[in-house]
Amino acid sequence: MSSSHDTHAAHGAASTHGAHAEKKSLRLTLHVWRQRDPNAEGKFATYKLDDVSPDMSFLEMLDVLNERLIAGGEEAIAFDHDCREGICGACSLTINGQPHGFERETTTCQIHMRRFEDGQTIYIEPFRANAFPVVKDLVVDRSAFDRIIAAGGFITARAGSAPDANALPIPQVAADAAMDAAACIGCGACVASCKNASAMLFVSAKVSHLALLPQGQAERNSRVLAMVEQMDKEGFGNCTNESECEAACPKGISVSNIARLNREYLRALASSD
């Protein structure tokens, strides 16, 4: 992991120095999944771009392509995006066979075209899972995640003014682990990259960040049971512990959360309340 980071870093550095000014625009061949609606048969359409600036983000490159399509009287390619700064979880896309592309811990919206080579062919597909049906082109319906969150319900906590800073003791280890789990942006790349289209990494992150904190204790058991039940209803696959999700997650959510989810689930099953 660190070695591939180093190579990319070196590469990036080179292009910010002298190479930056000279680095010419890229010629790309894009194979983009086009699908009119959820029930239509989709297929790849091929587009050629010969003046892609290396400074563009991946989504900006698609914006440019869309402007051309519209100008030519064609329908724009539908894709999801919102913040474009890697924090909202709206963007998706499977780029050359990898959800969010090949860069580690990076969302699609944070990929830049300088990472690609002149003359490269790029396949762009939607996230694929039966629980994430295609809405149109590259847009998939990830509301299964919302229903899992909803099934988890509320926490019982005192509302009103902020409590005293040290009124509620939380061990640093627990706070750190909870924060790490809470970094999940709900993008669905874990499902998209899992060979079984399992949602365990997402659910484990959501269950973990509350189970680790005192505020999550009141509903600790009922929450995990309800969320897992909803997850199963949505038609995700079963986890076989291959860890591809962790490698694909733009927020680096660890599979140790999945072990915790399994622990929480067994604990809840065994408890009487």
CA 195: distance to chain centroid?
15
Choice from 109, 185, 197, 258 touching ligand SF4 (CB under 6 A): 185
Amino acid identity at 1: M
92 binds other proteins (CB under 8 A): no
Q: Is 259 in the site for ligand HEM (CB under 6 A)?
A: no
Q: Cβ 64 to other proteins, closest distance in Å? A: 23
Nearer to ligand HEM, 143 or 238 (CB): 238
Contact status: 81 vs ligand FES (CB under 6 A): yes
The binder of ligand HEM chosen from 83, 240, 259, 269 (CB under 6 A): 240
Going by the DSSP 8-state scheme, the letter that residue 74 receives in this structure is P
C-beta of residue 210 within 8 angstroms of C-beta of residue 155: yes
Q: Answer yes or no whether residue 266 interacts with ligand HEM by CB under 6 A.
A: no
Q: Binder to ligand HEM among 16, 143, 217, 241 (CB under 6 A)? A: 241
* Structure tokens given for 257: 């959360």
CA distances from 235 to 59, 67, 110, 157, 260 (A): 30, 37, 30, 32, 22
Rounded to whole angstroms, the Cα distance separating 42 from 136 reads 9
Site for ligand SF4 in 162-181 (CB under 6 A): none
Select the span of 35-43, 71-79, 106-114, 224-232 touching ligand FES (CB under 6 A). Answer: 106-114
239 binds other proteins (CB under 8 A): yes
- For β-strands 26-34 and 43-52, DSSP reports them as antiparallel
Name which of other proteins, ligand FES, ligand SF4, none residue 266 binds, using a CB cut-off of 5 to 8 Å depending on partner kind: other proteins
Task: For residue 123, state whether it binds other proteins (rule: CB under 8 A).
Answer: yes
Q: Does 88 bind ligand FES (CB under 6 A)?
A: yes
User: Is residue 26 part of the contact set for ligand SF4 (CB under 6 A)?
Assistant: no
The owner of tokens 């120095």 is 17
Closest CA to 54 of 117, 119, 121, 120: 117
The DSSP annotation for 139-183 comes to EE--HHHHHHHHHH-------SSPPPTTSS---HHHHHHHHHHHT
- Sheet (strand 26-34) strand order: 43-52, 26-34, 121-125, 94-95, 98-99
Which parts of this chain interact with other proteins (CB under 8 A)?
31, 33, 44, 94, 96-98, 102, 123, 125, 128-131, 134, 193, 195-198, 235-244, 246-248, 254-256, 258-266
Which parts of this chain interact with ligand SF4 (CB under 6 A)?
184-190, 201-202, 205, 249-251, 253
Which parts of this chain interact with ligand FES (CB under 6 A)?
81-84, 86-91, 107-109
